């Protein structure tokens, strides 16, 4: 049989169909094999680990789909060790099986550190230096001087502490700050909606002390946020102690409480302005 006759024959058509079907079947099998290999379409929801202990996480069934990686540990006062502070990916993310979840946890005790030199610099710079290495600010005391907001002494447990003295992460450092008597006031920073760490740092930098802290619900490193504070004056004397109230931002009451306090602040400030204007008018009438 010649080639031309074979190409026109029924046998050639059958072979051609078999080749095309085989190719398509191989293509489909390769697609499904690749899909299984790369786990496409098979995603798992990341559980919320923040605020949970490592022991609790071990009992979470969904964690069998992931690998937990601890990338850092931070000392936190009044917090037990092994509590997750942050996680990446965040809760409710959809990821493939075997994905690594990176977490930061609390440590049992503070690492040993060298005390930085925080004298002869501004209070704001000192607060940043102390906070950045994991130390806390205790009491900020102001004394009369020629220059405002310059740190003149750093103390721990009532005793002077020098540069490079050994301290532990989480230790409390008190600061003595020089204050010009003609510039002894500061403005209340906008701490509403801030976390505990953010609010504390802003208050310290403004020359204010952190007082009593209350929490509506369990204390949470990432989600407890300031919804009110006392005193509410916009202008405060340096060294004033500010009390803080926190609510977890996942609670339904959070936004309403925050709005109510903001409205209260606006009303109080308007009343204060009206009072000042009234006093100015009375003074002018005396003359």
The segment(s) of the chain belonging to CATH 3.30.10.20 are: 43-106, 110-183, 184-282
pLDDT tens column, 97-156: 889 999 998 876 667 889 999 999 999 999 999 988 888 899 999 999 888 889 999 999
User: What percentage of the chain carries pLDDT values higher than 70?
Assistant: 85
CATH number of 43-106: 3.30.10.20
CATH topology for the 184-282 domain: Trypsin Inhibitor V; Chain A (3.30.10)
**Which of 51, 35, 113, 121 shows the shortest CA–CA distance to 84?**
51
Question: What does the block give as tokens for 27?
Answer: 């293509």
| Overall pTM surpassing 0.85 (yes/no) | no
Instruction: Report the run of H or E that residue 175 belongs to, with start and end.
Output: strand 172-179
Question: Which two three-digit tokens encode residue 82?
Answer: 């092994």
Tens digit of each residue's pLDDT (9 = 90 or more) over 48-73: 999 898 889 988 999 999 999 998 87
Q: What is the mean pLDDT of residues 253-261?
A: 94
- pLDDT value at position 274? 62
Q: Render pLDDT for 270-283 as a digit per residue (tens, 0 to 9).
A: 776 666 566 554 54
Query: Burial level of 112, CB count in 10 A (0-12/13-18/19+)?
Result: exposed
* Predicted pLDDT of residue 127: 94
Instruction: Using alpha carbons, select from 216, 214, 221 the residue that is nearest to residue 49.
Output: 221
Which architecture does CATH list for 110-183?
2-Layer Sandwich (3.30)
Nearest to 154, CA basis, from 186, 120, 200, 179? 120
């Amino acid at each position: 049989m010649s080639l031309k006759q074979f190409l026109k024959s029924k046998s050639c058509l059958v072979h051609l169909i078999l080749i095309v079907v085989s190719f398509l079947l191989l293509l489909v099998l390769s697609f499904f094999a690749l899909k299984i290999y790369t786990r496409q379409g098979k995603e798992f929801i990341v559980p919320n680990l923040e605020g949970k202990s490592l022991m609790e996480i071990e009992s979470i069934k969904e964690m069998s789909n992931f690998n937990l990686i601890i990338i850092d540990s931070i000392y936190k006062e009044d917090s037990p060790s092994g509590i997750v502070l942050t996680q990446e990916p965040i809760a409710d993310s959809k990821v493939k099986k075997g994905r690594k979840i990176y977490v930061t946890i609390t440590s049992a005790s503070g690492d040993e550190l060298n005390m930085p030199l925080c004298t002869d610099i501004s209070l704001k710079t000192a607060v940043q230096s102390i906070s950045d290495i994991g130390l806390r600010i205790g009491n900020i005391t102001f004394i009369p001087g020629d220059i405002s907001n310059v740190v003149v002494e750093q103390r721990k447990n009532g005793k002077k502490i020098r540069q490079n003295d050994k301290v532990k992460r989480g230790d409390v450092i008190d600061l003595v700050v020089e204050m010009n008597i003609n510039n002894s006031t500061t403005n209340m920073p906008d701490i509403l909606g801030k976390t505990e760490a953010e609010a504390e740092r802003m208050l310290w930098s403004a020359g204010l002390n952190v007082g009593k802290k209350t929490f509506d619900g369990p204390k949470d490193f990432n989600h407890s946020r300031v919804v009110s504070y006392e005193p509410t004056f916009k202008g405060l004397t340096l060294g004033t102690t500010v009390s803080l109230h926190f609510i977890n931002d996942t609670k339904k009451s959070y936004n309403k409480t925050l709005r109510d306090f903001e409205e209260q602040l606006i009303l109080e400030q308007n009343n204060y302005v009206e009072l000042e204007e009234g006093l100015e008018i009375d003074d002018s009438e005396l003359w």
